[in-house]
Amino acid sequence: MSRPAHERYLLLDHGRGLAALAVVSFHAAHQWIVGPAPAGLTWLAAIAREGWRGVHVFFVISGYCIAQLAWREIRGRRSPLRFLRDRFLRIFPAYWAACLLAAALALLALPFNELPLLATATAPGALPSSVREWLGHSLLIEPLLGQQSYLLVAWTLSWELAYYVMVAILVVVGVQLGVIPALLLALLAALAGACPPCLAQLPALGGWTEFTCGAMVFGAATARQEGRPSWPWLTAMALLGGLGLLVPAASIMLSFSAAFAFLLHWLRPYDHILAHRPGVIWLGALGAMSYSIYLVHAPVISPVINLLRRQIPASSPYFLVPIFVAGAAGLATAGFFYRFVECRVEQWRKARCPALPPSPLSNS
Percent of the chain at pLDDT above 70?
93
For range 263-272, the mean pLDDT: 94
For range 37-64, the mean pLDDT: 94
Reference 199, options 271, 273, 250; nearest CA is: 250
pLDDT at 120: 75
Domain ranges of the chain: 11-114+124-352
Query: How far is it, in rounded angstroms, from Cα 212 to Cα 236?
Result: 9
What's the per-residue H, E or C state across 119-159? CCCCCCCCECCCHHHHHHHHHCCHHHHCCCCCCCCHHHHHH
pLDDT at 110: 85
Residue 343 reports pLDDT greater than 90: yes
| pLDDT level of residue 67 (50, 70, 90 thresholds) | very high
Hey, what amino acid is at 273? I
pLDDT at 361: 43
For range 23-35, the mean pLDDT: 95
Query: How far is it, in rounded angstroms, from Cα 340 to Cα 349?
Result: 15
pLDDT at 289: 96
Residue 4 reports pLDDT greater than 50: no
pLDDT at 173: 95
For range 220-233, the mean pLDDT: 92
pLDDT at 354: 63
pLDDT at 6: 39
For range 73-85, the mean pLDDT: 88
For range 341-345, the mean pLDDT: 96
| pLDDT level of residue 355 (50, 70, 90 thresholds) | low
pLDDT at 88: 94
Query: How far is it, in rounded angstroms, from Cα 47 to Cα 61?
Result: 22
- Mean pLDDT, the chain, integer: 90
Query: How far is it, in rounded angstroms, from Cα 222 to Cα 68?
Result: 9
For range 167-191, the mean pLDDT: 94
pLDDT at 15: 96
| pLDDT level of residue 199 (50, 70, 90 thresholds) | confident
Hey, what amino acid is at 147? Q
**Higher confidence at residue 120 or residue 82?**
82
pLDDT at 47: 95
Burial class (CB in 10 A: 0-12, 13-18, 19+), 132: exposed
pLDDT tens digits, 91-140: 999 999 999 999 999 999 888 777 788 877 777 778 888 899 999 999 99
pLDDT at 84: 93
pLDDT tens digits, 273-295: 999 898 899 999 999 999 999 99
Burial class (CB in 10 A: 0-12, 13-18, 19+), 362: middle
| pLDDT level of residue 43 (50, 70, 90 thresholds) | very high
pTM over 0.85: yes
Helix axes 204-225, 154-177, angle to 10 degrees: 50
For range 56-72, the mean pLDDT: 94
Percent of the chain at pLDDT above 90?
70
**Higher confidence at residue 69 or residue 3?**
69
pLDDT tens digits, 296-307: 999 999 999 999
What's the per-residue H, E or C state across the chain? CCCCCCCCCCHHHHHHHHHHHHHHHHHHCHHHHHCCCCCCCHHHHHHHHHHHHHHHHHHHHHHHHHHHHHHHHHHCCCCHHHHHHHHHHHHHHHHHHHHHHHHHHHHHHHHHCCCCCECCCCCCCCECCCHHHHHHHHHCCHHHHCCCCCCCCHHHHHHHHHHHHHHHHHHHHHHHHCHHHHHHHHHHHHHHCCCHHHHHHCCHHHHHHHHHHHHHHHHHHHHHHCCCCCHHHHHHHHHHHHHHHHCCCCCCCHHHHHHHHHHHHHHHHHHHHHHCCCCCHHHHHHHHCHHHHHHHHHHHHHHHHHHHCCCCCCCCHHHHHHHHHHHHHHHHHHHHHHHHHHHHHHHHHHHHCCCCCCCCCCCC
In this structure, are residues 304 and 323 in contact, taking their beta carbons and an 8 Å threshold?
no
Residue 321's contacts (CB-CB under 8 Å, 6 or more residues apart) are 308, 312
